[in-house]
């Protein structure tokens, strides 16, 4: 009888210790806030954190959380409800100009541009979402333009443009993402997550809408495989020139003293959670970024 009691007490203690261990270290399905990780991440800022070189959340300000794009001043723009908190709202004559760009931006060799976008389809011209300007040329170093998809009111297409500069000449490199056969159904005044990337190691571009990689033809993804400025060799690392300024919503010609061509339009849509990475994100990381930001994380 005495031995039975001792056994029971010992057995209870062992079960208690086992239960404690399982609770404290065996269950990692949720984080401290009680939410499950997505793609192995608890928040969007954990994704490629060491490669995130600029982040604009537009919470009633133009602050780059990473501090590599500074000196921002807005003209004719505002803030509105965004995909996550507040968002930057452009206008037909508005823009936000930044007068200082750090080396982590200007020295990028690969990149991923990620942003939530709220836009309408447009029938004329090309609206500039953003540009890493070139002080000595009308065309920027790195930018995305929005044009009509010409296939419906919900359709648009973008041009993701890289300019590869050297000491004596430059060669514009661009690619249409979402043309007539691959149109993006984002021009419906709703928030969509749009990501473009360029990988210097492969000289290939990729495009994602709402976390899903677009199935683009090789003529688009491999646009930078044959660089005339390099005698047909791949573009390789990006190389920018006179990249001291950055702007949302316009071309260099829209800035004071400039004269824009008729086709050059200010971007009158919204941007939110605008991010620049100095690497091409993996497909799974782009999907996780979309899902986490959509969940407000």
Looking at the domain assignment, is residue 156 inside a domain? yes
Please name the residues in contact with 269: beta carbons below 8 A apart, sequence gap of 6 or more.
89, 90, 117, 118, 119, 120, 127, 146
| CA atoms of 12 and 109, how far apart (whole Å) | 61
Its sign, for the CA torsion 235, 250, 122, 139, is: negative
Looking at the domain assignment, is residue 40 inside a domain? no
CA dist 233 → 159, 225, 280 (Å): 22, 7, 20
CA dist 230 → 86, 166, 227 (Å): 44, 11, 5
The domain in which residue 144 lies consists of 47-294
What pLDDT score was predicted for residue 227? 65
What sections of the chain are H helices per DSSP?
2-25, 103-106, 218-221, 283-294
Looking at the domain assignment, is residue 29 inside a domain? no
Looking at the domain assignment, is residue 11 inside a domain? no
Looking at the domain assignment, is residue 69 inside a domain? yes
Looking at the domain assignment, is residue 106 inside a domain? yes
Looking at the domain assignment, is residue 200 inside a domain? yes
Q: What is the CATH number of the domain that holds 130?
A: 2.60.120.200
Q: How many domains does the chain have?
A: 1
What pLDDT score was predicted for residue 150? 57
What pLDDT score was predicted for residue 161? 74
CA dist 39 → 42, 131, 206, 290, 291 (Å): 8, 31, 20, 11, 9
CA dist 100 → 70, 144, 182, 275 (Å): 5, 20, 36, 17
What pLDDT score was predicted for residue 30? 60
Cβ atoms of 297 and 41 within 8 Å: the answer is no
Residue 1 CB: number of other CB atoms within 10 A?
A: 4
β-bridge pairing 270-277 and 111-120: antiparallel
Looking at the domain assignment, is residue 185 inside a domain? yes
| pLDDT values of the chain reduced to their tens digit, one per residue, 297 residues | 444 443 343 443 443 433 334 333 334 456 666 789 999 999 999 999 999 999 999 999 999 999 999 999 999 999 999 999 999 999 999 999 999 999 999 999 999 999 999 998 777 788 999 999 999 888 888 998 887 755 554 556 667 777 665 433 344 444 545 444 455 678 788 999 999 999 999 999 898 999 999 888 787 788 788 766 666 778 888 888 899 999 999 999 999 999 999 999 999 999 999 999 999 999 999 999 999 999 999
Instruction: Provide φ and ψ at 7, rounded to 5°.
Output: -65, -40
């Amino acid at each position: 009888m005495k031995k039975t009691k001792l056994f029971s007490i010992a057995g209870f203690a062992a079960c208690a210790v086992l239960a404690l261990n399982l609770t404290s270290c065996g269950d990692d399905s949720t984080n401290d806030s009680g939410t499950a990780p997505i793609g192995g991440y608890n928040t969007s800022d954990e994704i490629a954190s060491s490669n995130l070189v600029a982040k604009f959340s537009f919470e009633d300000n133009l602050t780059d959380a990473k501090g590599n794009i500074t000196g921002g001043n807005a003209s004719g723009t505002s803030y509105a409800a965004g995909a996550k908190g507040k968002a930057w709202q452009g206008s037909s004559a508005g823009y936000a100009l930044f007068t200082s760009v750090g080396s982590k931006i200007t020295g990028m060799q690969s990149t991923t541009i990620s942003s939530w976008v709220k836009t309408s389809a447009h029938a004329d011209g090309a609206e500039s979402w953003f540009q890493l300007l070139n002080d000595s040329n009308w065309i920027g170093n790195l930018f995305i333009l929005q044009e009509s998809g010409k296939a419906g009111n919900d359709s648009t297409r973008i041009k993701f443009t890289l300019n590869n500069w050297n000491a004596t000449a430059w060669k514009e490199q661009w690619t249409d993402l979402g043309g007539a056969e691959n149109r993006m159904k984002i021009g419906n005044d709703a928030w969509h997550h749009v990501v473009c990337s360029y990988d210097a190691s492969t000289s290939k571009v990729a495009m994602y809408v709402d976390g899903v990689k677009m199935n683009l033809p090789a003529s688009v993804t491999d646009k930078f495989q044959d660089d005339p400025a390099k005698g047909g060799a791949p573009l390789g690392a990006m190389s920018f020139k006179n990249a001291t300024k950055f702007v949302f919503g316009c071309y260099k010609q829209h800035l004071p003293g400039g004269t824009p061509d008729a086709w050059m339009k200010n971007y009158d849509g919204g941007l939110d959670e605008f991010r620049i990475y100095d690497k091409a994100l993996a497909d799974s990381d782009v999907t996780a970024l979309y899902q986490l930001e959509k969940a407000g994380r």
